[in-house]
Structure 1
Amino acid sequence: MPVRMTLPDTFAKRLAAADRPQIGMWVCSGSPLVAEIAAGSGLDWLLIDGEHSPNTLETILAQLQAVAAYPATPLVRVPSGDVVTIKQYLDLGVQNLLVPMVDSAEQAEAMVRAVRYPPAGVRGVGSALARAARWNRVEGYLANADETISLTVQIESAAAVDAAPAILATEGVDAIFIGPSDLAASMGVLGQQEHPEVVAAVERSIRAAVDAGKPAGVNAFAPATAERYLAAGASFVLVAADVSMLARGSEALAERFIGGDGAERASY
C-alpha cells in the first residue's frame, strides 16, 4: 500500500494561528544545504527567492525537500507573474507563493486565477505527475488544492501602494508583502529604503492590510526598522539574508585579522 500524505498547513493558516509576528530570512544562495541550516535556526519562515537569485526549478525543489523536515515555513518567490512559471512552481510542491510587482487589483485577480484549477482559474492539471499532490498520494488533491496553497503578492511601487486596499480586497489574495527597495526606486529615491516618504508608504500599506483584516509583511534588515514596522502592525518580517550574512561576516573576519581596505587585500 502506498503512503497516504497530508500536506503541511499553508503560510496563511500559520499566520492566522500565530500569537505573534512571524520572523524570517531570505534564502538566496540556491543551496539546499544553506536552506536546511536556516530552516533549523528557530526562525519561523524562509523566503526562497526565484527572482533575484541563481535558482532553477531543480534547486528550488531540492531546497523544499531539504527544509521539509523542519518547522520553518517556506515561502517561494517566482521571478514574475508568468502563468506557466507559476504552474511549474506549484507542481514542484510550492504551497506558499510570493508574486513580485503586483500593481493593481486586476493583476492580483490574474494571480489568483493562476494558482487555481478551472473553472475558478487557469492552472494546468498535472497532479499525477507532480510533487504537489505527492504523485496522487494526497487524497482528494484536485478537489482541495485551493486549501493547500497560499498567495502573497508584493507591493513594490507607488501605484501598488495606492491600489493596496483594492489588492487586499481581492478574494484569494491571502497577504501582501512590501518591498521597500523597489518602492524607493519607484518613488525616485533609489537605494534609500529609509527615506521618510518610503517609510510612510510602507506604513500606509501595512495600515491598509490591518484595516482589511489581512496580514502584511515587509523586508527590513535594520533591527530598528523591523521593530518600527512590527509596531505598525506587520504580521511577518524578513530580518536577514543568507548571502548578506555571509558577506558581512566574512568582511568582519578580514577586517579583524587582516585590516586595511578591500582594494589592498585584493592585491595580495
Structure 2
Amino acid sequence: MYNAHKITDKVAAGKLALGSHVGFDSPFVTEMIAGCGFDFIWIDGEHSAIDRKDIQNHLMACRAAGAAGIVRVPWNDPVIIKAILDMGADGIVVPMVCSLEEAKQAAAATHYPPAGIRGMGTRRAVNYGIWDKNAYVADTDKYILTIVQIEHIDVVKDLPEIAKLPGISGFVVGPNDFTMSMNTPERTYTVNDPEVLEQFDKIGEALAGTGKLFGVSGACSEKFIRDWTRRGVNFMCMNFDFNYIVSGAKNVMQTSHTILDQLERAY
C-alpha cells in the first residue's frame, strides 16, 4: 500500500499531519512509534548511522504500521535518491537545499524522464510487480513526496520560485541549521532571537497560498506547535526514537527515587 496520502489527505482535510523521527537501526522501534498513530515516520539517513538495508527495514515497518515512510537522504544526490525510492519510500526529504537550481536537481532526481532523471528499477516500490507499475510511473507525484528542507537563509529569497516547480511537493524547515546559517564571526544566533523569528515568519509568508506542503522538524513543545501553526505549517515532525527511550528511562528513575525517598523518611 502506498501511504503518501496519509499526509496529503490530512492536509487536504484542513488538518495537521503529524510525524516522528527515527534514527536507530531497529525497525521494531519504528513499528512501535508508527503504531501510536503518527501519519508518517521520518527516517533519518543524514544524521544517523543507518545504512541502506536499515532504511529498507524501516520502510517495511512503516508500511506494516500503516504510516507513510519518508526518508531524509544524506545529500541532494540522485544516485542515493534513486536507490531509496526503489525501496518503496513514500517520500524524500532533501537536506540543505539552498537555491532554485538545487531544488530543480532534487525534483529531477525523484521523477522519471522527461520530467527528471530517475532511472528505472522500481522493484519494491511497486511491490515487486504485484502493483501497477504503469500507474506508478505515470503519476509519480501521487505516490512520492519530494520535500526540500529549508536549512539556510540563502534559500529564502528563492522560495516563491521553488514553490512554482511542478516536481516539488513541499518544504520543511530545519530551525537549528537555519539559525546556524545566520551566524557570523561577530555574532552567534539562537532560534529565539528576533532576527531568526523574523526569517521564520518570512518563510511562512512566502509559502502561504502556494498549495504546497509546508512543515517543520523539531522537538515537541506547546510553544513549538503554537508558533509554527501560526506560521501556517500543515505538517510537523517532532521528537526522535531516542527521546522516547530517554524520557521513559528518566521517568522510571525519578519515580523510583521519589518512592524510595518517601520510604526512607517513613522509617
Q: TM-score range with shorter-chain normalisation? A: 0.7 to 0.9
Change (3 A) 1:17 1:58: same
User: 1:8: Cα distance to partner?
Assistant: 3.6
Taking every aligned residue pair, what percent have the same amino acid on both sides? 32
Inter-CA distance 163–66: structure 2 relative to 1 (3 Å threshold): same
Matches within 5 A, 1:82-161: 82-127=77-122, 130-139=123-132, 140=134, 141-161=136-156
Q: How does 1:1-268 map to 2 (within 5 A)?
A: 7-10=2-5, 13-127=8-122, 130-139=123-132, 140=134, 141-188=136-183, 192-221=190-219, 222-257=221-256
Q: CA deviation at 1:69?
A: 2.7
Question: Post-superposition shift, 1:252?
Answer: 4.2
- TM-score, normalization by structure 1: 0.86
Please give the per-residue CA displacement for 1:23-65, whole angstroms capped at 9, x wherever unaligned.
2211122210110001111222221111011211111111111
Displacement of 1:13: 3.0
1:133 shift after superposition: 1.9
Any idea what the Cα deviations from partners look like across 1:187-241, whole Å, max 9, x if unmatched? 1176822222222222221221113232210123232122111122110112322
| Distance in 2 (alpha carbons) for counterparts of 1:11 and 1:108 | 24
More displaced, 159-168 or 183-192?
183-192
Q: CA RMSD in A?
A: 2.1
Q: What SS does the corresponding residue of 1:69 show, helix, strand or coil?
A: helix
Note the residue ranges of structure 1 that are not aligned, 5 or more in a row: 1-5, 260-268
Q: Which runs of 5+ in 2 are unaligned?
A: 259-267
Aligned length: 252
Structure 1 residues 152 and 248: alpha-carbon distance in aligned structure 2, compared to 1, 3 A threshold: same
Task: For residues 152-189 of structure 1, give each alpha carbon's deviation from its aligned partner in whole angstroms, at most 9, with x where no partner exists.
Answer: 10000110222222221222111100000101110117
For residues 50 and 56 of structure 2, the distance between their equivalents in structure 1, rounded to whole angstroms, comes to 10
